[in-house]
Amino acid sequence: MISGILASPGIVFGKALLFKEKKININVKKISKKNINIEIEKFFKARKKSKKQLKEIQNQAKKKFGKEKSSIFEGHILILEDEELEKEIISLIKKKMITSDHAVEKIIQEQISSLEKLKDEYLKNRAIDIRDIGNRLLKNILKIPIIDLNNIQKKVILITKDLTPSQTAQMNFKKILGFATDLGGKTSHTSIMARSLEIPAIVGMGNITEKIKNNDYIILNGIDNEIIINPSKQQIKEFKIIRKQYFEKQKKLISLKKVHAITLDGKKIKIGSNIGNYKDTIGSKKYGAECIGLYRTEFLFMGRNNLPSEEEQFQAYKKVAKKMHGKHIIIRTMDIGGDKNLSYMNFPPEENPFLGWRAIRVSINNIQILHDQLKAILRASAYGKFKIMFPMIISMEEIYFLKQELNKIKIKLKKNKIKFDKKIELGVMIETPSSAIISKHLAKEVDFFSIGTNDLTQYTLAVDRGNEIISNLYQPMSPSVLYLIKKVIKESHKAKKWTGICGELASNEKAISLLVGMGIDELSMSSISIPIIKNIIRKINFKKAKILAKKVLQQSTVKKIKKLLKKFNKENNLL
C-alpha cells in the first residue's frame, strides 16, 4: 500500500501501464565496412515503422479532432520521408562509417540548429516537429518501445513520473481509468484537470514508478489516498463494496444539486464551476453550478501545433455560452507559462517559470494574441453573459494598458457593426500578493475580483504549488494568505464591487465556514465538489461564521487556525 497526494477522488481497479520513457543512448562508434549496409537497412526499417505509427496516430486524430488537425501528421510523414534527409543520413553512414542512430542524430540536430537560428516563427516551430520525428526514428532504430498515450488500446491505470497538463489534455480517458505520478501537487494543473474529468488520481507519490511493474494489477483508491499492488481476492471484494457505497453517496449528493447555497440566516453565496472547455459544462449542469466562475481558456491553446484563430476561439466560446443559458461565465484570458507550455510558441528556457513569462505577461508581449482573444470573447458575448478576467495581475499599469486595448477592440467592433455586450464586466484575478495589496486601487478600475488561491498561496509563501517535496509548506490557510483574502474582500465591498474565489480553497470543506464568515460572494470549483459545498453552506449561520472569521484572523499559526475551524465545524455539524 502506497500513498501520495490525493488529486482526484474515486476508486478504480485494473492493470498498470508503466509509462517510463527510456533514455535514447546513441551508439557512438566506428563501424566496419561490411556493416554499412546493415546500418542503412536499419534506418529504412525504422523509417517504415515510424511511418506506420504516424499513420495510426493520424487516423486517431482524424476521429478525435477532424481532418484539418490530423493533417499535421501528414506533414510529419512528409518530413520523415524527405529525400534530402534520406540522402544526407545515408551518405553520413557511408562516409564517416558511423551507426545509423548516430547519423540520424547528427543530421536531425543540424537541421534543428539551423531552423532555431531563423527569425521566422513558422520555421522555428518546424524545429519542434523535426525533433519529434527524429526521436521517433531513433527509438525505432534502437528498438525502444514508444508508448503513445493517445493511442492506448486496453483499459489501464497509468503510472508515470509526471504528466504535463498538455499531455493530460490529449489522453484518451476511455482507456485510462486513472493515474498516479511520482511528482506533482494537489493544485498543479494536471490534478485540477483530473478533477474536472472525474478521473481518480493520486500525485506526488515519490517513487511509485519504481514500485509498480507493467501489468501489475492495482487498486487506485482515490478516497483514502492509497494504491494497493496485486491485492488479494478478499481485498478486491472489499473495495468493490466501498466503491459502490461511494457511488451511492455521490448519487445522493447529486440529487441535492438544485438547492441554493443560502446560510441558515439568509446569506446567499453564488456557486460556480471551473471549466477548461465546453465539454466541462456537462459537469457544471450535472452538479448544479449556478455560473462558470472560471473558464480557463488556455486549454484551447494546448495539445495542438498552432494558435487557435479568432474565429475558432469565437466558436468555442459561443458553444460554452449556449450551454450556460444566460448564467454568467467568467472567461479568463490565456494563462500560459509556468507548468502550461505551448510547444509551438518557443518559450525561452527560464530559471523560474512561475515567476517568469506567464499569463497576462505573455498576452501583453504578444498583442495580436491578446487582440484576437478579446475580439473572440466580445463577439461571443452577444450569445451569453460573459465577464472578462485577466490573470496574474501585479500592477495598475497593467490594468490601464489592458483596459485601453479592450477599448480599442470595442471601437473596432462597433465600427464594423459587430454585435457584443456593451456592458460586459471586467475583473482581475488576485493571485499575487501585489494585487491583493493594491486591491483598493484595482477596485476602482474593475467590476469584480476573483481570488486564485492556488497561485496566491504559492506566491505569498514562496512555495511551488507543484512540488511534492515542500507540499507540507503549501498552506492556503496560513495567516498571511488569509490576511490578504480578507483585505481583498473588504476593499471590493468598500468600492461596492464583489469578490469570488476560484482557486482550490473554494472547495476545501474545512474552510467554507471561514470563507463565508469573511464575506465571500462567490465560490467556484471543480463541478464534482459543488453539491457537498452547497450543503455545507446551508448548515452555516452567517452571524456565527463572521465571529469565527474575526477570531481566525487574529491567530498567528496555521495550527491554531485549523484547530478553531475544526471546533466550529464540529459544533455546527458542518462536515
Q: Is 48 helix (H, G, I), strand (E, B) or coil?
A: helix
* In the complex, least distance from residue 279 CB atom to ligand PEP, rounded to whole angstroms: 18
For residue 503, state whether it binds ligand PEP (rule: CB under 6 A).
yes
Question: Quick check: is 189 catalytic?
Answer: yes
Cell of 381: 458575448
CA distance to 205, 207, 230, per residue, from 210 (Å): 11, 5, 15
* In the complex, least distance from residue 446 CB atom to ligand PEP, rounded to whole angstroms: 17
Nearer to Mg ion, 31 or 463 (CB): 463
Nearer to ligand PEP, 294 or 406 (CB): 294
Residue at grid coordinates 534506418: 43
Nearer to ligand PEP, 263 or 458 (CB): 458
Of the residues 189, 325, 371, 493, only one is catalytic, namely 189
Cell of 536: 455545507
Nearest-angstrom CA–CA distance, 491 and 468 = 34
Cell of 461: 509563501
Q: By rule CB under 6 A, what string of x and - marks binding of each residue 74-93 to ligand PEP?
A: --------------------
Closest CA to 463 of 448, 450, 480, 446: 480
Contact at 8 Å (CB) between 388 and 331?
yes
Question: Quick check: is 502 catalytic?
Answer: yes
Closest CA to 17 of 197, 174, 154, 168: 154
Rounded to 5 degrees, what angle do the CA atoms 490, 494, 499 make? 50
For residue 455, state whether it binds Mg ion (rule: CB under 5 A).
yes
How many residues are given for the chain? 575
Chain residue at closest Cβ approach to Mg ion: 455
For residue 231, state whether it binds Mg ion (rule: CB under 5 A).
no
Binders of Mg ion among residues 299 to 318 (CB under 5 A) are none
How many chain residues touch ligand PEP (CB under 6 A)?
11
Nearer to ligand PEP, 231 or 466 (CB): 466
- How do 270-275 and 329-332 pair as beta strands? unpaired
E strand or H helix that includes residue 202:
strand 201-203
Nearest-angstrom CA–CA distance, 90 and 191 = 46
Quote the DSSP letter at residue 571: H
For residue 502, state whether it binds ligand PEP (rule: CB under 6 A).
yes
Residue at grid coordinates 452547497: 534
* In the complex, least distance from residue 185 CB atom to ligand PEP, rounded to whole angstroms: 11
* In the complex, least distance from residue 270 CB atom to ligand PEP, rounded to whole angstroms: 16
The binder of Mg ion chosen from 9, 178, 452, 517 (CB under 5 A): 452
Count the alpha carbons within 13 Å of 202 in the hemisphere toward its beta carbon.
Answer: 25
Closest CA to 289 of 254, 318, 264, 316: 254
The binder of ligand PEP chosen from 182, 455, 464, 521 (CB under 6 A): 455
Contact at 8 Å (CB) between 137 and 50?
yes
Residue range at the interface with ligand PEP (CB under 6 A); choices 11-19, 343-351, 435-443, 452-460: 452-460
Nearer to ligand PEP, 222 or 503 (CB): 503
For residue 491, state whether it binds ligand PEP (rule: CB under 6 A).
no
For residue 431, state whether it binds ligand PEP (rule: CB under 6 A).
yes
For residue 453, state whether it binds ligand PEP (rule: CB under 6 A).
yes
The binder of ligand PEP chosen from 288, 452, 500, 519 (CB under 6 A): 452
Nearest-angstrom CA–CA distance, 477 and 552 = 10
Residue range at the interface with Mg ion (CB under 5 A); choices 204-212, 255-263, 417-425, 447-455: 447-455
Choose from ligand PEP, Mg ion, none: what does 453 bind? Cβ within 5-8 Å by kind: ligand PEP
Q: What is the DSSP string of 394-425?
A: --HHHHHHHHHHHHHHHHHHHHTT----TT-E
For residue 296, state whether it binds ligand PEP (rule: CB under 6 A).
yes
Binders of Mg ion among residues 372 to 391 (CB under 5 A) are none
Q: Is 19 helix (H, G, I), strand (E, B) or coil?
A: strand
For residue 476, state whether it binds Mg ion (rule: CB under 5 A).
no
Of the residues 102, 291, 328, 502, only one is catalytic, namely 502
Q: By rule CB under 5 A, what string of x and - marks binding of each residue 396-435 to Mg ion?
A: -----------------------------------x----
Nearest-angstrom CA–CA distance, 252 and 262 = 19
Binding residues for ligand PEP, per CB under 6 A? 192, 294, 296, 335, 431, 452-455, 502-503
Binding residues for Mg ion, per CB under 5 A? 431, 452, 455
Active site residues: 189, 502
